[in-house]
A and B are shown apart, each in its own frame.
Chain A
Amino acid sequence: MNETPLLDIQHISYTYPGHSLGNSQTEPVPALRDVSLRVEQGEYLAILGHNGSGKSTLARHCNALLLPDRGRVLVAGLDTGEKPNRRRIRNNVGMIFQNPDNQIIATVVEDDIAWALTVRGFPAALIRERVAEAMSAVGIGDLRQRPPNTLSGGQRQRLAIAGALALRPRCIIADEATAQLDPLSRQEIVALLQQLKREHGLTIMHVTHLLEETVEADRIVIMQQGRIVLEDTPRAIFADLERLREFKLIIPEPIALAARLRDAGFAIAPDALTIEAIAQEILH
């Protein structure tokens, strides 16, 4: 049992510097205020919040894309503030963003996955093995010769995940990776992240503004105005729907229905949060 958490965020604060845009000068924006968080190896963590809550800023501190003004971030014990650590940190923590096109480079799927390995000078045989492994993990093996621009949004996001997996990271951070997808592709990407955790023991940090994407997480962290305002298991978080409404989060209708039926005397377990689980509870 490894005692060092995979991510250890200690009292970090971060302010985006102001910048000039046309005639107007923007003010510096405090984005994180004294945030602390530990994430264990193999944990599925959902970070939930509105635009501007600081959730993406927090995610970007976890692979040294941003460095804290105050406090420190340790990734598997390595401080992101120390430059010699950064290569290892970025090998350990892969990031996926809202728009997969921003990280797709090559003209054919398999070359794109191989890219990060190629620039790191891996031998060709190993690259082939890693690329095949990454493609099968995300289920795009049949698309290996396709140009990325012919793929659907969901397939492109899978490709971005495969590119990150090829480096065999210990953690994947999905920063609003589902925000531009249609609802079914969204569900498929969430299921894929769950599967990577289950089958490969990966740590997942899933940043989202949708409550329904968090119901199967091990832990949910809710952020507001640069602070963590709530942190608990889905079961505990969904036990108080009023509080979630106060955070202006939209309660998934099946969960709202389950709560109303429970209040009306139906015996519905509080940890029934998926559609299947709620249906089972209603039927019994």
Chain B
Amino acid sequence: MTEPLIVVNKLCYTYQSGAVPRQALMDINLEIERGSCAAIIGVTGSGKSTLVQHFNGLLHPTSGTVIVDGLDVNAKGADLRALRQRVGMLFQFPEAQLFAHTVYADVAFGPQRLKLSRREVRLRVLKALETVGLSPRIYAARSPFDLSGGQMRRVALAGVLAMTPTILILDEPTTGLDAEGRAEFYYYLRRVQQDQDVTIVLVSHDMAEVAALADQLFVLRDGQLVMQGTPRAVFNQGEALRAWGLAVPPLSELLSLLRRQGLLIPADTLTLDEAFDVIQESCRISP
């Protein structure tokens, strides 16, 4: 059993800015396994972004500890610079951070500051662009501002990947993209997950969207961790999730409606294929 990559222990965080201090996180305990994909779920203001900003030392716990890859981020003299090289973070609307004249220059910006050889920078940029599905031959010399919204976001993702992070944190990465853009983004993110030895932390308010990717879901509400488990286990708690202002995937909602009406549907049914099979089965037994 290897050590979890991220260990959060009794984490509390209070925002001191503003007229009244606001407690944003209360007694959070969680572990994220190395190489897994964890999704942090909650409505706006539930503390998701506050939580993940502890993972690269952007915020420091008011109390409690956060240990990332063996490093206590709150310890005196903790090397946050080194930590931030290992933790890549993609913020909301990352395309707003693109700035260079070409896609290549934008993705190369981070690695160049690491004092790598030009050859190494080039290798990293090309690999990162390939990974996100933007063939360097076609896109490297283009202006990032002429690309579609989905492509711009993938350029920003490539910029983070070129830093070869151990942990990749994505805060609401698909907000504002259309269905096609979202599907593409997740397709390439899954490739990142498969090809590279990286732990992914996804922040989202849409559980349906992250279900296929995430191994573990952590549900936050009003700064507290109120539920955790595999997508199957969590979606099974549809009633509670709805009461917290979170929508379960529409298919899970349909299945729970059928179950309440007396159809025999196992609680852990998740995919369309499984649903099709169990409904056929169930209706054969009780016509």
Contact = CB atoms under 8 A, between A and B. Distances in A.
**A and B: interacting chains:** yes
Interface of A: 21-24, 26, 50-52, 98, 152-153, 179-180, 182-184, 187, 209-212, 248-250, 252-254, 256-257, 260-261, 264, 266, 275-276, 278-279, 282-283
21 contacts: A21-B143, A21-B145, A22-B101, A23-B143, A51-B180, A52-B148, A152-B43, A182-B43, A183-B205, A183-B206, A183-B208, A254-B250, A254-B254, A256-B272, A257-B254, A257-B279, A260-B272, A261-B279, A279-B261, A282-B279, A282-B283
Interface in B29-70: 43-45
Nearest to B248: A183
A275 B272 contact: no
A26 B143 CA distance: 10
Contacts of A252: 250
Contacts of A253: 249-251, 254, 272, 275
Contact of B254 (A21, A22, A279): A279
Question: Most chain-A CB neighbours within 10 Å: which of B150, B179, B183, B280?
Answer: B179
A250 B183 contact: yes
A182 B206 contact: yes
Interface in B257-287: 257-258, 261, 263, 272, 275-276, 279-280, 283
B146 A24 contact: yes
Contacts of B283: 266, 282
B45 to A, nearest CB: 7
Contacts of B263: 282-283
B180 A182 contact: no
B149 A279 contact: no
Contacts of A250: 179, 183
A210 B181 CA distance: 12
Given A21-B145, A180-B176, A183-B247, A283 B261 contact: yes
Nearest to B253: A275
A256 B253 CA distance: 14
B245 interface: yes
Nearest to A26: B146
A264 B205 contact: no
B282 to A, nearest CB: 9
Interface string B198-214: 00000001101000000
A249 B148 CA distance: 17
B176 A179 contact: yes
Contacts of A249: 179
Contact of B180 (A24, A248, A279, A283): A248
Contacts of B101: 22-24
A182 B44 contact: yes
Contacts of B275: 253, 257
A147 to B, nearest CB: 13
Give 9 closest A-B pairs by Cβ, nearest first.
Answer: A183-B247, A182-B205, A253-B251, A209-B178, A279-B257, A254-B254, A51-B178, A250-B179, A24-B143
Contacts of B253: 254, 275
Interface string B109-150: 000000000000000000000000000000000010110111
B272 A180 contact: no
B100 to A, nearest CB: 9
B246 interface: yes
Nearest to B261: A283
A209 B183 CA distance: 13
A248 B250 CA distance: 19
Nearest to B204: A182
B26 to A, nearest CB: 20
Contacts of B183: 250
B139 to A, nearest CB: 14
Given A24-B143, A278-B254, A50 B272 contact: no
A257 B179 contact: no
A282 B254 CA distance: 10
Contacts of A283: 258, 261, 263
B175 interface: yes
Contacts of A184: 43, 242, 245-247
A209 B179 contact: yes
A182 B258 CA distance: 25
B1 to A, nearest CB: 36
Contacts of B205: 182-183
A269 B136 CA distance: 49
A264 B176 contact: no
Contacts of B177: 51
Contacts of B261: 279, 283
Given A184-B242, A257-B272, A282-B263, 16 more contacts: A23-B101, A24-B145, A50-B181, A182-B43, A182-B44, A252-B250, A253-B251, A253-B254, A257-B276, A257-B279, A260-B272, A261-B280, A264-B280, A279-B254, A282-B283, A283-B261
